[in-house]
Amino acid sequence: MTLIGLGCLLLMTVSACSPGAFTQTPFVRQAQDAASSLSAAAATIEYVHTGKVDDRYARSSLSIYRQSLQGMESELPGLRGAPDETVLQPVISQLERARQVLDDPCLDDDCDWRAQLSTLDDASRALLKVSE
């Protein structure tokens, strides 16, 4: 236990001596994870329409992405490292629109899946940008 404590101390010291170089803030981590889920969702919808995955695979995985993004809009602003509200609010709005896409994803040919794709990609890019 002492050694683990020592390890903690050592790594905390390294982390403190080089702020930002060793670790990411909780906000950056969550924003990047959310961006990853949105990119994956976009890829999944694209793959359905290009015949790379079937409908069942898409439904199952989209429900997993939906789950991983649950509550993200309210969680992100309160995390350490979050930018101020004026910067974050537009990104949150994009995230909300992307979540609406995940609630009703277009997996057939009778809806505008390309529009959904760009909503998801835009939200993902915005999250990555705000986490830089």
Partner 1 sequence: MKRALQVTLGILTAIGGFVDAGAIATAAGAGAGFGLGLVWAMLLGTLAVILLVEMSGRLAAVSGKPYAASIRERFGFKYYLAPLITELIANTLLLAADLGGMAIGISLLTGVEWVYLVPPCALLVWLMVWRAPFSLIENGPSLLGLVTLSFVVGIVALGGPSPDLLRSLWRPTIERGEWAAYLFLATAILGAVISPYLLFFYSSGAREERWSRRDLSLNRITAMLGMGFGSITSIALIVLSAMVLQPRDISGITLSEVGLSMAEAFGPLGARLFAVALFTTCLGAALEIVLSIGYNVAQGFGWEWGERKKPVEAPRFNLVLLLFLGGGFAIATFGIDPLQLALFGSAFTALTLPIALFPFLVLMNDREYLKDKVNKRWNNIAVIAVLGLAFVVAVVSLPLLILSGG
Amino acid at 55: D
Nearer to partner 1, 6 or 111 (CB): 6
Nearer to partner 1, 44 or 116 (CB): 44
Q: Which region among 44-52, 89-97, 98-106, 109-117 touches partner 1 (by CB under 8 A)?
A: 44-52
Nearer to partner 1, 39 or 119 (CB): 39
Alpha helices (H) along the chain? 2-17, 26-49, 55-68, 72-75, 85-103, 113-130
Biggest CA-to-CA distance, the chain = 63
How many other C-beta atoms are found inside a 10 Å radius of the C-beta of residue 52?
Answer: 12
- Determine the 3-state secondary structure of 110 from DSSP: coil
Structure tokens belonging to residue 54: 């079937």
Q: Does 63 bind partner 1 (CB under 8 A)?
A: yes
Q: Any idea what the Cα angle at residue 24 is, between residues 21 and 25, rounded to 5°?
A: 130
Nearer to partner 1, 56 or 86 (CB): 56
Q: Does 26 bind partner 1 (CB under 8 A)?
A: yes
Name the residues that contact partner 1, by CB under 8 A. Answer: 3-4, 6-8, 10-12, 15, 20-24, 26, 28-29, 32-33, 35-37, 39-40, 43-44, 47, 51-57, 59-61, 63-65, 67-68, 124, 128
